[in-house]
């Protein structure tokens, strides 16, 4: 299978879940997964704020990405479809500068 495909990534994360029996051992419980994602965001933040190298940052972002795919598995939704639906929405949004940085959002007055 093409390692660059979403399906290959989904299959790899599913195999990881199956290997460790996440479904029956609490690994797919959503509150737990949110806590793990928050932990990974902290590790990403640490890489950035402490000036760690690109390889360390890439590893932490990959951890978060794996957790995101795993959360789609655990919650039984199509992350690939949700991604493309969201991209269509955000491509229609306006941007503006907020405190010196670009912000893209549904701005409300």
pLDDT tens, 9-34? 999 999 999 999 999 999 999 999 99
| Domain assignment present for 53 | yes
Report helix, strand or coil for 49. helix
| Domain assignment present for 38 | yes
Residue 50 contacts residue 60 (beta carbons within 8 Å): no
Answer left, alpha or beta for residue 28, where phi above 0 means left and psi between -120 and 50 means alpha. Answer: alpha
Question: How many of the other CB atoms lie within 10 Å of CB of 96?
Answer: 9
| Domain assignment present for 1 | no
Q: Which residue has the higher pLDDT, 2 or 50?
A: 50
Number of domains in the chain: 1
Q: Which residues of 76-95 are buried (b: 16+ CB within 10 A; e: fewer)?
A: eeebeeeeeeeeeeeeeeee
| Domain assignment present for 75 | yes
| Domain assignment present for 67 | yes
Instruction: Provide the domain limits for residue 79.
Output: 6-105
Rounded to two decimals, the pTM is: 0.90
49: CATH: 1.10.287.1080
């Amino acid at each position: 299978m093409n390692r660059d495909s979403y399906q290959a990534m989904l299959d790899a994360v599913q195999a990881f879940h199956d290997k460790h029996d996440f479904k029956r051992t609490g690994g797919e419980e959503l509150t737990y997964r949110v806590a793990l994602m928050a932990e990974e965001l902290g590790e990403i933040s640490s890489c950035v704020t402490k000036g760690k190298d690109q390889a360390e940052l890439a590893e932490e972002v990959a951890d978060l990405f794996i957790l995101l795919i795993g959360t789609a598995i655990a919650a039984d939704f199509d992350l690939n479809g949700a991604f493309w639906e969201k991209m269509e929405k955000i491509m229609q949004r306006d941007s503006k500068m907020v405190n010196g940085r670009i912000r893209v959002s549904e701005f409300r007055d």
